[in-house]
Amino acid sequence: MDLPDTQYFLLVVPICLILIGGVFISAYYLFKAPKYLFWMGLGCILPSVALGAQSLMTNAQLTLTAPWIGILYLGGAWSVAHGMTIKAKAKTNSIASLTIVVLGVLSLFYFAYVDEQLWLRMMTINIVIICLEALAIPSVYFLFRQSSGLVKLLCFSYFLLFTYATLRTLAILFFLQNVDRIALSTSKWWMLMLAINVVISLWFAIVVVATTVKEFFIVLNEERMMDPLTKLYNRSGFFEKSSALFDDSAKGEVYVVMCDIDFFKRINDTWGHATGDQILCTIADIFKDNVRQDDIVARFGGEEFIILFRSLDELSSFYLVDRLRSQIENQIFVDNIRVTASFGIACIEDKDRLIKALELADKRLYNAKNNGRNQVNVS
């Protein structure tokens, strides 16, 4: 079938968007990509299928399938808005969305099969799209203010989609009121709107791709720095993250703590390594639950842990670490096992002396062990 040049142009971008949407959905199911990516995939595919169908159908076919094509456009708009809400980690307003969609679909069927009105169908589709996209605006605005880089660009691109949808609706309202289907397909306003629509849609999809790729590499980097058992930082992650604590302008001194579980080899030999692993995870949870967000906790190797934190003075740091020691001592672990741990603390004058401070904390750790274990040594 020979297609006019404009129809051929209108098929290229939808095909690209369908492929991009398919990649998004596949990434979600096959590689456990973020959930919002699934909805972005639907947001690419549904309106692209609608636009492709419009480009290929005859006027008679378009009249027959008009409300169904409109539903695809509405589904695409809702999917993108829902995806952005999920990206912003906000609560979705399902009742409002469902109400808007149901009213829109009923209007589409009425103006297609009861009182055939092309202009009112176009207005219905665009007004519903604006309403659906508007529901996500507060969440996206909050994400925009809290984010930077590509995520901020993604939010800006969503604002661009919403702005264009509003301007497109105004153009239909003022310039396409009395146009019929045949005149519409050759209208300069209609062709301009279609061209802008495909460009903005493709731009938005590209920004989603770029954002996803960046987030993927961030996750890979985080996984590289994490201990797979305890979900704490590993030795490499500790050193990479430690500089951030020194760059902090907060008051107080930086302290490093070395921790070693007492008689851990005996635990592994008596109850097995699986039990030992559970104990390591429980101790890691104790640390995570009792340090501040900016403090750095890592598994340094085997049964050794390390903590980097700010404290006003040596006495305050001692009380903090002794509280951790006490919680471990009082914790009833798997199989009713009781465990203790020894700690060594050292103050770090600046980040260039971190290694020396680690050596000093390690020396004090072994002093604690030699002095009877289950204690904190600061000197």
SS3 state of residue 347? strand
In whole angstroms, give the CA distance from residue 211 to residue 216.
9
Structural domains in the chain (count)? 2
Task: List b or e across 126-139, with b for residues whose CB sees 16 or more CB atoms inside 10 angstroms.
Answer: bbbbbbbbebbbeb
Q: Quick one: 220 and 240 in the same domain?
A: no
Which of 66, 24, 67, 68 lies closest to 45, judged by CA? 24
Q: What is the mean pLDDT of each run of 10 residues along the chain (379 residues)?
A: 54 87 93 91 94 82 89 96 95 92 95 90 95 96 93 96 94 80 67 82 93 88 90 92 73 89 94 95 95 91 93 89 95 93 91 87 94 92
In whole angstroms, give the CA distance from residue 239 to residue 227.
13
In whole angstroms, give the CA distance from residue 204 to residue 196.
12
Asked if residue 350 belongs to a domain, the reply is yes
Q: Quick one: 108 and 242 in the same domain?
A: no
Range of the domain at 26: 5-224
Q: Which amino acid is at 290?
A: N
Q: In sequence order, which ranges of the chain are alpha helices (DSSP H)?
A: 5-31, 35-56, 59-87, 94-109, 118-146, 149-175, 181-186, 188-224, 235-247, 264-271, 273-290, 314-330, 354-370
Asked if residue 141 belongs to a domain, the reply is yes
Q: Quick one: 215 and 121 in the same domain?
A: yes
Q: Quick one: 259 and 144 in the same domain?
A: no
Question: Do strands 253-261 and 304-311 pair parallel, antiparallel, or not at all (unpaired)?
Answer: antiparallel
Asked if residue 346 belongs to a domain, the reply is yes
Asked if residue 41 belongs to a domain, the reply is yes
Q: Quick one: 340 and 288 in the same domain?
A: yes
Q: Quick one: 43 and 188 in the same domain?
A: yes
Asked if residue 178 belongs to a domain, the reply is yes
Q: Quick one: 215 and 175 in the same domain?
A: yes
In whole angstroms, give the CA distance from residue 21 to residue 45.
6
Six-digit token string for 157: 């691109």
Asked if residue 162 belongs to a domain, the reply is yes
Query: What's the maximum distance between 2 C-alpha atoms anywhere in the chain?
Result: 93
Q: Quick one: 62 and 28 in the same domain?
A: yes
Q: Quick one: 207 and 261 in the same domain?
A: no
Q: Quick one: 28 and 116 in the same domain?
A: yes
Strand partners, 260: 304, 342
Question: Considering the entire predicted model, what is its pTM?
Answer: 0.75
Q: Quick one: 198 and 273 in the same domain?
A: no
In whole angstroms, give the CA distance from residue 365 to residue 368.
5
Asked if residue 230 belongs to a domain, the reply is no
Backbone φ and ψ of 147, nearest 5°: -110, 180
Residue 264: predicted pLDDT: 94
Last residue of a domain, one of 224, 251, 272: 224
Q: Quick one: 356 and 303 in the same domain?
A: yes
Last residue of a domain, one of 224, 244, 263: 224
Last residue of a domain, one of 196, 224, 252: 224
SS3 state of residue 310? strand
Q: On the CB side of 204, how many CA atoms lie within 13 Å of its CA?
A: 28
Residue 32 burial (10 A CB sphere; 0-12, 13-18, 19+): exposed
Q: Are 345 and 316 in contact (CB under 8 A)?
A: no
Place of tokens 């695409």: 76
Asked if residue 229 belongs to a domain, the reply is no
In whole angstroms, give the CA distance from residue 304 to residue 280.
9
- What CATH number did the domain enclosing 329 receive? 3.30.70.270
Q: Are 160 and 200 in contact (CB under 8 A)?
A: yes
